[in-house]
Structure 1
Amino acid sequence: MDARKKSSIILCVLVAMMLLVAGCGNSSESKADNSASGAAAGSDTNTSNDTPTEKVDLTISAAASMTDALNEIAKTYEKAHPNIQLSFNFGGSGALQKQIEQGAPADLFLSASTKNMKPLVEQQLIEEGQEKTLLKNELVVVVPSDAKTSVASIGDLSKAEVKKVAIGIPESVPAGNYAKEALMSSKLWEPLQSKTVQAKDVRQVLQYVETGNADAGFVYKTDALTSPKVKIAFTVDPKAYSAVEYPIGIVKATKHAKEAEDFYNYLQSQPAMDVFTKYGFTVPE
């Protein structure tokens, strides 16, 4: 082989080797680029999967007399538990009991009477072992803050100047049932029928007195303390009516058992009790 042919062969080999090296380099860069793109894509995918914790809406059916205390407690609780939204259904305990029996959505029930909790426990609509007496209250009679008529005892409700006496509907409003017991104990239930005005819950009784649509009304001490438009005329003799106890229970049909139990426990904690006592409730011994 002459020198010219040998040089041509060597040149071809060198060119082939250079092309091979260049191809490998491009392939490596391509793989590196692909890897980087894949990592970035994976990062984007993971970011999109980091969705916020789902908000849980708890429905609390509660006696109307607990409105102010529970609304204050809710602000503190929701601030500490941003994934929880507390929705309150306030009303007469008897009406709330019926709603739960008929399948209305509720996670917890706070009644102003054991009378309205007991049937739900017996029907196994309240979770077993998750029901207890939470608070106590007392019955008072209020009059408008500017009232001129002196009402110092239950007997004074018979005065001619007292034209309207408001009470909750005894069949569905615990405060109304307690008022009926006290009036019957004083033998005034029948004599006062002509001047009695019935309300759907204890807050409506308070409203009747505030607006002058009633000259006196039976409410809880806790309700009386919330309004500057009324004053307590007298405290009803506690021996004349059943003890006012507020039981709390977790509704068995709740779809948020853990969250309901957490709030159930919180309502028994010292911070919650401090709020309840501030509004005039007392803690069972």
Structure 2
Amino acid sequence: MRRFGFALAMLVGLIAQPAMADAKVFVAASLADVVQALVDASDIKGLIVVAGSSSSLARQIKAGAPADVFISANKDWAALVAGEQDLLPLFSNRLVLVSHKDVTLSDISELPSLLGNNRLAVGDPNHVPAGIYAREALKSLGLWDALQNNLAPADNVRAAVRLVQTGAAPFGIVYASDAALLKLNVVYVFDETAHSPISYWAVTLADQEPETLAFMRFLGSADAHAIVASYGFLSLEGK
């Protein structure tokens, strides 16, 4: 009877122990697939990928959302939540113009006439990094005034992609990695000098678990770099 009582006490004690919470990796929408591939390749258990607009995720974290890692599509949103934590530069991307149908575009200046009264899908230029880069590019090319009233601003870049895929918008400005992964028709590649450098930044947040720290170390490995390249992202040499 004593043994039974002791065993029962041990069982109750084990049940009373709090379960280990999963570590949440908040990532920009454009990173959903590649980060999930990195998590799978790392063989680190207990990591959950949560994707959304960098701006929305940053606001959620500031409001108390339980994120362990945040990977943003630009430095400003990463810095907003970083506090005293260091920012880790990860990789880069390119901006491209995609179309719903197979269209030939000999010069980007033809876009307003090709678009007509239709919509141009972009991430919302007021807060979505892809949209901010798109606005910078269109301004530098002298096309912003002609196109700003035809924009279909989306909550994140993947939402902009879906507008093009469904034909709701005949054209869209998205990342090259999205276009490659989802096999979109690329009709123009924006010069990197037309907008701010596109870079992704990671920040680890407070009370890190071993799984989270192990994943951050994995991001710097050769295996991780190979996966990132296979998804169409570019390296950040010299940055």
- TM class, shorter-length: 0.7 to 0.9
For residue 22 of structure 2, give the secondary structure of its aligned residue in structure 1: strand
**How far, CA to CA, are the matches of 1:157 and 1:102 in structure 2?**
40
Q: What is the CA distance between 1:72 and its match in structure 2?
A: 1.6
Choose the corresponding residue for 1:189, options 115, 138, 144. Answer: 144
Can you give the 5+ residue segments of structure 1 that lack an aligned partner in the other structure?
A: 1-36
Cα distance in 2 between the residues matched to 1:272 and 1:117: 21
Matched, 1:224 2:176: no
* AA in 2 matched with 1:176: G
Query: Which is greater in Rg?
Result: 1
Partner of 1:278: 230
Unaligned 5+ runs, structure 2: none
Kindly indicate whether the alpha-carbon contact (under 8 Å) linking 1:141 and 1:216 is maintained by their aligned counterparts in 2. yes
Cα deviation for residue 156 of structure 1 reads 2.0
Task: Tell me if 1:140 matches 2:96.
Answer: yes
Aligned to 2:158: 203
Partner deviation per Cα, 1:106-132 (whole Å, 9 max, x = no partner): 0000001012112233xx2xx534x21
| Aligned counterpart for 2:30 among listed residues 65, 76, 87 | 65
| Partner residue, 1:249 | 203
Q: For 1:146-198, what per-residue CA distance to the aligned partner results, in whole angstroms no more than 9, with x for missing partners?
A: 33x43343312111455221110112210100000001111211211232111
Say which SS state the counterpart of residue 159 (structure 1) adopts: helix
| CA distance in structure 2 between the partners assigned to 1:270 and 1:55 by the alignment | 30
* CA deviation vs aligned residue, 1:93-118 (integer Å, no higher than 9, x gap): 11111111111110000001012112
- Residue 131 of structure 2 is aligned with which of 176, 196, 200? 176
Three-state SS of the structure 2 residue aligned to 1:217 is strand
Instruction: Report the TM-score, using the length of structure 2 for normalisation.
Output: 0.87
Q: Structure 2: which amino acid aligns with 1:202?
A: V
Question: Which secondary structure state, in structure 2, belongs to the residue aligned with residue 281 of structure 1?
Answer: coil
Query: Normalised by the size of structure 1, how large is the TM-score?
Result: 0.74
**In structure 1, C-alpha distance between the alignment counterparts of 2:79 and 2:106, rounded to whole Å:** 35
CA RMSD of aligned residues (A): 2.6
| Percent identity (aligned) | 30
> Contact 1:94 / 1:173 at 8 angstroms: preserved in 2?
yes
RCO higher in structure (CA 8 A, sep ≥6): 2
Question: Contact between 1:111 and 1:247, CA under 8 Å: does it hold in 2?
Answer: yes
Q: AA paired with 2:154?
A: A
1:160–1:283 distance in 2 versus 1, CA, 3 Å: closer
Distance 1:117 1:50 in 2: 39
Name 1:15's counterpart in structure 2. Answer: none
Query: In structure 1, how many angstroms separate the alpha carbons of the residues matched to 2:123 and 2:136?
Result: 12
